[in-house]
């Protein structure tokens, strides 16, 4: 299974093709729409988000809401394309307007201009923008549908917004209680986080945070210890790291494990009295030796603060070589809820790929039957 995406931020829309999804899976546009709405929301977002109201359009691979086994193409239109057509139309447009040359630190602008031989960072940022994640969410939600048919569930929450951090441990069954405001689980901390966002907004500054994702229901044996690039942790963390603004990823105890002795890190195994085993801890985050071990998968990711600041960062105008202030293209203070939504989708996408590689199968029925027989 592979998800291929395309589309610019102010172009016609965002597009994705999912190859390798089995036939017989029901697609739920309402669920995709809800995820898109969640991605566009959250405390700390600016004005643009309100006009977006993204919707997914199913273009192919699905008939009467059921997959055919053929490539699934989906689109998320850009609702303000009409305002940008004159400057962005593939068929012909005025590229001398809407130029951006005061390259923004923290974005792909400067490096992308060098890479692609551009004198206008617009030609880079349109694709590098996190707008791309709208269609990754749409595709990821379709993959979530497959996982849920197997009894595999993915949920995440926001552990920290800037310096406001929730240090409690949670298990999967608690995560559904996350807020829709900032995605946190502790209301008191979320109130603190909102105040921090307000303060940041006043200062023209931005915030990131820490996100945590859990997978419940994945049986033991997915991923592989036999080939380095098939390791489950490598694949899932690579997928999370491919999301805009992510600067770190970890599994289970993650970086904390580095400071502890082995006897406090590894999860001892006990007989459950009925021929099976259980563990009292899950510090490994559900992955040992690059393979799922049947416990909850627990991943964490660090989101950097949004690099476009209302107060402006010091930079250079690539057109003149002179000092300049990086103009804000948009005005979010914190997009952590969006990021959480995107990470869930990215995780669903990669996990679905891993599961389908091991199970094979051309129909949902075959995939389910095979998963049912897995150890």
Least separation in angstroms between residue 341's CB and a second copy is 15
Q: Which range, of 38-46, 166-174, 183-191, 234-242, touches a second copy by CB under 8 A?
A: 234-242
Least separation in angstroms between residue 106's CB and a second copy is 4
CA distance 96 to 83: 16
Q: From the list 40, 231, 297, 345, which residue makes contact with a second copy (rule: CB under 8 A)?
A: 231
**Does 31 engage in binding with a second copy (CB under 8 A)?**
no
Q: How far is CA 102 from CA 129, 189, 289, in A?
A: 16, 37, 46
Q: What burial class does residue 191 get, using C-beta atoms within 10 Å of its C-beta: 0-12 exposed, 13-18 middle, 19+ buried?
A: middle
Q: From the list 100, 297, 309, 343, which residue makes contact with a second copy (rule: CB under 8 A)?
A: 309
| Site for a second copy, residues 168 to 197, rule: CB under 8 A | none
| Site for a second copy, residues 109 to 168, rule: CB under 8 A | 109-112, 114-118, 123-124, 126-128, 132, 136, 160, 162-163, 165
Q: From the list 176, 188, 195, 260, which residue makes contact with a second copy (rule: CB under 8 A)?
A: 260
**Does 251 engage in binding with a second copy (CB under 8 A)?**
yes
Least separation in angstroms between residue 323's CB and a second copy is 6
**Does 105 engage in binding with a second copy (CB under 8 A)?**
yes
SS3 at position 68: coil
Residue (of 349, 374, 319) closest to 135 by Cα position: 349
CA distance 59 to 57: 6
Least separation in angstroms between residue 316's CB and a second copy is 5
Q: Which range, of 144-152, 168-176, 184-192, 267-275, touches a second copy by CB under 8 A?
A: 267-275
| Site for a second copy, residues 66 to 85, rule: CB under 8 A | 68-73, 75
Burial 57-85 (b: 16+ CB within 10 A, else e): ebeebbeeeebbeebbbbbbbbeeeeebe
Least separation in angstroms between residue 178's CB and a second copy is 18
CA distance 188 to 262: 35
In the bound state with a second copy, the residue whose beta carbon lies nearer, of 36 and 176, is 36
**Does 282 engage in binding with a second copy (CB under 8 A)?**
no
Q: From the list 101, 285, 338, 344, which residue makes contact with a second copy (rule: CB under 8 A)?
A: 285
Q: What burial class does residue 7 get, using C-beta atoms within 10 Å of its C-beta: 0-12 exposed, 13-18 middle, 19+ buried?
A: buried
Q: From the list 48, 234, 329, 331, which residue makes contact with a second copy (rule: CB under 8 A)?
A: 234
3-class secondary structure for 1-19? CEEEEEECCCCCEEEEEEE
**Does 330 engage in binding with a second copy (CB under 8 A)?**
no
277-279 and 269-271 beta bridge pairing: antiparallel
């Amino acid at each position: 299974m592979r998800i291929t995406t395309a589309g610019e931020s102010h172009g016609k829309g965002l597009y994705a093709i999912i190859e390798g999804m089995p036939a017989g899976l029901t697609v739920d546009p309402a669920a995709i729409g809800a995820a898109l709405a969640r991605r566009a929301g959250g405390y700390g977002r600016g004005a643009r988000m309100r006009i977006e109201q993204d919707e997914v359009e199913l273009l192919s691979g699905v008939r009467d809401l059921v997959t055919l086994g053929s490539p699934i193409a989906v689109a998320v239109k850009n609702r303000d394309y009409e305002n940008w057509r004159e400057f962005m139309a593939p068929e012909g447009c005025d590229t001398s307007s809407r130029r951006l040359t005061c390259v923004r630190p923290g974005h792909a602008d400067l490096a992308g201009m060098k890479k692609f031989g551009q004198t206008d960072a617009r030609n880079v940022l349109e694709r590098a923008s996190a707008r791309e994640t709208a269609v990754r969410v749409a595709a990821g939600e379709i993959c979530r549908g497959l996982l849920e048919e197997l009894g595999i569930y993915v949920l995440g929450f926001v552990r920290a917004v800037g310096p406001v951090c929730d240090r409690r441990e949670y298990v999967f069954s608690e995560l559904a209680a996350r807020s829709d405001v900032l995605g946190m689980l502790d209301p008191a901390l979320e109130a603190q986080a909102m105040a921090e966002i307000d303060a940041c907004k006043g200062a023209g500054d931005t915030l990131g945070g820490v996100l945590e994702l859990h997978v419940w229901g994945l049986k033991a044996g997915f991923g592989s210890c036999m080939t380095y690039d098939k390791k489950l942790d490598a694949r899932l963390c690579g997928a999370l790291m491919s999301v805009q603004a992510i600067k770190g990823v970890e599994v289970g105890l993650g970086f904390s494990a580095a400071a502890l002795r082995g006897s406090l890190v590894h999860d001892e195994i006990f007989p459950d009295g009925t021929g099976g085993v259980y563990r009292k801890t899950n510090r490994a985050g559900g992955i040992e030796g690059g393979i799922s071990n049947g416990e909850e998968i627990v991943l964490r990711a660090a989101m950097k603060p949004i690099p476009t600041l209302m107060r402006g960062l010091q930079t250079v105008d690539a057109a003149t070589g002179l000092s300049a202030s990086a103009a804000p293209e948009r005005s979010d203070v914190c997009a952590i809820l969006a990021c959480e939504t995107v990470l869930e989708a990215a995780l669903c996408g990669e996990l679905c790929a891993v599961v389908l590689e091991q199970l094979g199968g051309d129909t949902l029925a075959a995939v389910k039957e095979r998963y049912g027989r897995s150890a």
